[in-house]
A and B are shown apart, each in its own frame.
Chain A
Amino acid sequence: MAVDIIVPKDLWEEEVEGVIVAWLTEEGASVRKGDVVAEIMVKKVQFDILAPAEGRVRILKKADEIIRKGDVIGRIE
């Protein structure tokens, strides 16, 4: 079953957009639950995005793309 990789809604407080700095994995790579799969930046602060499950990564939003809280940026299949 696929699980979405979501930017947590409580990751930062203000209603501002962020950006994906880098994916720390690759399309199709296998990850464990809790692995850091991406780094995002809001203002000058960087946050880790963790794999919500074990499986293979599908990237839906690329590095440099703009993101909001709650966005689905990828999927674990």
Chain B
Amino acid sequence: MTPTREQKIWMYEHMLVSRYLEEMIEEIYMEGKTPAFNMAAGPIPGEMHLSKGQEPCAVGVCVHLKPFDVVTATHRPHHIAVAKGVDLNKMTAEIFGKATGLSGGRGGHMHIFDPDVNFSCSGIIGQSVGPAVGAALSRKLQKKEGVAVAFLGEGAVNQGAFHEGLNLAAVWKLPVIFVIEDNGWGISVPKTASTAVEHNDIRAQAYGIPGHYVPGNNPLEIFRVAGEAIARARRGEGPSLIEIETLRMAGHFMGDAEQYRPKEELAMLKARDPIVAMRTYLMTVDKMSEAEDQEIVTRARKRAEAAIAFAKESPYPRGEEALEKVFV
């Protein structure tokens, strides 16, 4: 399965949108946080888990999805939300805690919910799995179109929720795909110190489902593997597990000095930027011109800028609105 030129451009552009949005968030997040880094200060308070470097996982999978398909994501959700088509303005407003945000400021960046495109996420490791399995079950019971994709980090596969969810999905042959973004690090603990196997695709065997490992953080390879797994699920043939080698270009959260991370690895981050690699690929293989690139870059940047502007201009909720929306 190979992407069309249009699909490749779509992937490139959505990686850019996510990256630009995060770069802008990164800058605004630091306002009020230097030199004293107080998490509570500034226009964007709280934790901030950036996804830069991991964009290929999101676009390579989500390019195959329709709005009616279901995606559940992690505490590091921006790239996936962008690729799933979450309303960018409302998502950004949510990250700023504004009244116009997806949940009126109740959730923040770890709790992005956009039912219009069937996207949600959780700040609890491994808890993307159950809801995706349930969504897939619902589609099967209702004989409704659509698959579910659960994104999770490589650290999450050592949670019970992962193993229980895989078995449940397998035994009920549900249309769900588990996508592990393996960035090598669970906060400060490397995968080698926490996970007994080198690659988690092997764990699919324990549940009798196909497992795939995708090295290289390459959107085109991810496209191929995810495309086949999603098509299989759509045909009613059951779940698949995919582990993608990816790259955490930022710290676990903003402000993380990453003293635990080898200096050589940190030094190589920029050289391994998947967006740069994709641009080079498009220019050489797909003959993307400088002008076309500029056009895409400008379009992506403008979307991110518009979202930031919307968030900044939006009002904060009133304090007492906290009492609302506990129940429907």
Chains A, B in direct contact (C-beta < 8 Å): yes
A-side contacts of B257, CB under 8 Å: 42-45
A-side contacts of B319, CB under 8 Å: none
What is the bound-complex CA distance between A41 and B256, given in angstroms?
A: 12
Count of inter-chain pairs, beta carbons less than 8 A? 23
B-side contacts of A42, CB under 8 Å: 35, 257
What is the bound-complex CA distance between A8 and B259, given in angstroms?
A: 18
Indicate whether A66 reaches chain B with its CB closer than 8 angstroms.
yes
What is the bound-complex CA distance between A44 and B256, given in angstroms?
A: 6
Nearest opposing residue in chain A for B259, CB measure:
A45
Q: How far is the CB of A8 from chain B (nearest CB, A)?
A: 16
What is the bound-complex CA distance between A66 and B37, given in angstroms?
A: 11
Q: How far is the CB of A76 from chain B (nearest CB, A)?
A: 25
B35 touches A16 (CB 8 A): yes
B-side contacts of A16, CB under 8 Å: 34-35
B-side contacts of A66, CB under 8 Å: 35-36
B-side contacts of A64, CB under 8 Å: 36
B35 touches A17 (CB 8 A): yes
A41 touches B34 (CB 8 A): no
Indicate whether A74 reaches chain B with its CB closer than 8 angstroms.
no
Specify which of B34, B35, B255 lies most central, judged by the most chain A CB atoms within 10 Å of its CB. Answer: B35
Chain A residues bordering chain B, tally (CB within 8 A): 11
Nearest opposing residue in chain B for A17, CB measure:
B35
Nearest opposing residue in chain B for A67, CB measure:
B35
Indicate whether A50 reaches chain B with its CB closer than 8 angstroms.
no
Q: When each residue 1-22 of chain A gets 1 if its CB lies under 8 Å from chain B and 0 otherwise, what string results?
A: 0000000000000001111000
What is the bound-complex CA distance between A18 and B37, given in angstroms?
A: 9
Q: When each residue 41-71 of chain A gets 1 if its CB lies under 8 Å from chain B and 0 otherwise, what string results?
A: 1111100000000000000000010100000
Q: When each residue 191-215 of chain B gets 1 if its CB lies under 8 Å from chain A and 0 otherwise, what string results?
A: 0000000000000000000000000
A-side contacts of B36, CB under 8 Å: 19, 41, 64, 66
What is the bound-complex CA distance between A41 and B255, given in angstroms?
A: 11
What is the bound-complex CA distance between A22 and B9, given in angstroms?
A: 52
What is the bound-complex CA distance between A45 and B258, given in angstroms?
A: 9
Nearest opposing residue in chain A for B39, CB measure:
A44
Specify which of A16, A17, A44 lies most central, judged by the most chain B CB atoms within 10 Å of its CB. Answer: A44
A-side contacts of B255, CB under 8 Å: 43-44
User: A-contacting residues of B (Cβ < 8 Å)?
Assistant: 34-37, 255-257, 259
> A16-B34, A44-B255 given. 11 additional CB < 8 A pairs?
A18-B35, A41-B36, A41-B37, A42-B35, A43-B37, A43-B255, A43-B257, A45-B259, A64-B36, A66-B35, A66-B36
